[in-house]
Structure 1
Amino acid sequence: MTAPALYRNQTYVRLWIAYTLSSLGTFASLVSLPLVVMASSGGPLGVGLISFAGASCMLLALPWAGLLVDRVGWRPVMVRADLVRGIAFGVLTYTVATHQVSVGVVLAVTAVSGALGVPFASATATALRSAIPTAQRPAALSANQSRTALLTLLGPLAGGALYGVSPALPFAVDAVSFLVSATLVATLPATTAAPADRPAAHWTDITAGWRFLRRHPFLRNMTLTVLVADFGIQGVIVVLVVTAAASNDALGTGLITACTGAGNLLGSAITLPAVRHARPRTLILATTWTGALAVSAIAGTDRVLWGALLAGCFCVATPVIGVLTNRTLLDDVPQEILGRVQSVFQTVPRLVASTGPVLAGLLLGVLPTRAVVLLFALPLAALALYGTLSGTLDRKDR
């Protein structure tokens, strides 16, 4: 029997809308959090503490998040994570609207959001296996990549616009988006949501996701690829933004955002035909070498425009990696440990990539701009060379 069209798959559609709402609200509020902290006399130190709190709580949530999904199922995890986050941002909305907000309140809400975002992302990825037939997975994953690209562009813009109307409005929208998302997921059928076998909370069970990735050569290599690529592009973007700001080039800063966002959108659009018609090894090597050459070329130009265009070229290639990796995760990982594997893959690259901007800022204080860019090009070049010489990219599509 032929599987129905993706847009007729009501479980997938509801999951897609739920994740979109949660993420759009999160992007909108993230851009407003530093403004609220600064307005509450938190200063730059307060802004730094907010970022640290979010990353720290993600790290603390990593060991148990996937285990929780594998123990209770994806649906209850998604619903409860969204409900708690909705309540937290409702409290933040109230404190901002009544001028009672403090750095402590923002820190607490950020900690809750960061900690619960890990099991929510793991549960969402796990839900795809239940919702999507194997034949529809490439199309579904490509649609998810397009959604992420759009949210990255529109979320901060929406947050800034809402904050301009009222400082409390972005957080109110975020709270409502979480509650609507929880409602959508709660009304999904319960079939296949509950795991047949519940793992224990022993060390061997907690680390099962790490061990599986270590033993799977293709996924191990792909996790490293995502980690290095995200780390590199985020660091280079900071270098470009700082360069534009130092020249009082507001247009250049806008071009950087526009080019990287357009690159992600274009890459998402071409991912599905690329995955269907090209070998994984070819696509991975094209992506890694494009990144290494693009970042190296950025070091050779003083013009922000060319740097932004080259960064955009890098971003065109990266969605392919996301689709290839997520499809392999859904195809190859046993159901009983899928949550734990997904939590490692979803969280570790994000945490490592978040150090790219910090490192870029530190290096710019002691090294010339070109030297900093070249330092970010080195791990990309090493990754491309390793992929070319190793045999871990030879996995054939099913």
Structure 2
Amino acid sequence: MISPPGTQSLPLPSRTSIVLIPRRWLILARVAWVVCALLLLTNFVASIPAYYRIMLTICTLPNQVPCTMPGNGAPSGQLTPVNVHALAQLHLSVATYAAYYVTLQVVLSSLYLGVGLLIFWRKSDVGMGLFVSLWLVLYGASSVTNNFLFAYAPTQPPLILLALISGVQWAGLGAFLLTFPTGRFVPRWSWLLGSALGIIIYRYVRVFDAVQRQQTKWFIYAFAVGMFLGAISTALLVEVPADSPYQLLNGTTTLLFFVFIPLGLGIAILRYRLWDIDAIINRTLVYGSLTVLLVGLYIGLILALQALVRAVTGSLSQQPPVLVGSTLVIAALFQPLRRLLQTIIDRRFYRRKYDAAKVMAAFGTTLRTEVDVGTLREQLLAIVQETMQPAHVSLWIRPAQQGGKHETAWTGNPPPHMGNEV
């Protein structure tokens, strides 16, 4: 970075280079990737009808004992007698549910396979791109929960190799967490710690550059959203009776937990619209907090108004007015609460954005009174650095024209003899 005369250069964040596959090994690595992918895809296609037949059977184990796939103990998604009774209430057959659940598994697997193939096509010359793409294909071909991987009888010879691959996928997950997004152990001794979260935080704060931080945000955001939704779903289903039709959604919500991971990884590896994550996180915080707050207020208002109606009339016959009144109050509070939460979140988590409006307003006042171009230049560069934290800023000041007036213009790369860069 270059600074205006009289100022010091601002240091760039330390940058960790990505791992590129040497050209002499690239063809061999791609061939090995294709062979592994074809093996997995073949098993994936052949396992679909086998898994469908498993889903047609009823699990007769007690409700507290989950039905699992042979060979690995993964949840099979099979219906229990209680679930069959719930299906009957909805006038649905076991075959219909089996077709629905297997289709959902195939769609989710196709998402993993598609993102993996796309990353291989675009980033197979990068070590992390090749590794993540194969990892996604492996998870997709095994239906994420390994149901497709173990749909065959465990005595068949191919299962030995596939079981080995299944074990490798968990080791690969650990290696991914310790090396993402560069493909390197940074620092070199980080693999000894075994704490993926601690290493990610350390590298995010001390090692990563701006792009690598955005990549990390995408992956962490996708994983956190899936974990949060999965926890909410599990907590709600625990309160639902075992014979309720809502229990049939258990398998669906479990699968939907995995939807966000390939999307976040794909964006991070392909570097597609990396900088949108800040706005997405901001809106998630705002509208997530707003939803929780409004739901709490709505429930509180209903309970309070019901108590008031009971105290005044001695009965609860005025339920509709209570619901209507609570709904109107929540509708009126939506925008004020949204603005309040936006301000609080910007102040707490996006301090520069919160201060930017005040800083620019103060600079606008300075423009009306300050006539020295050098002073304005230094103030403007300082404001841009403070509010936006860019890696590169250029201010081109044109030579004075007749009449002593100056014209300025922003450029990405000003002429060397005129530009002042930060």
The verdict on a shared fold, with TM-score over 0.5 as the criterion, is no
Structure 2-normalised TM-score?
0.29
Higher helix residue share: 1
Greater C-alpha Rg:
2
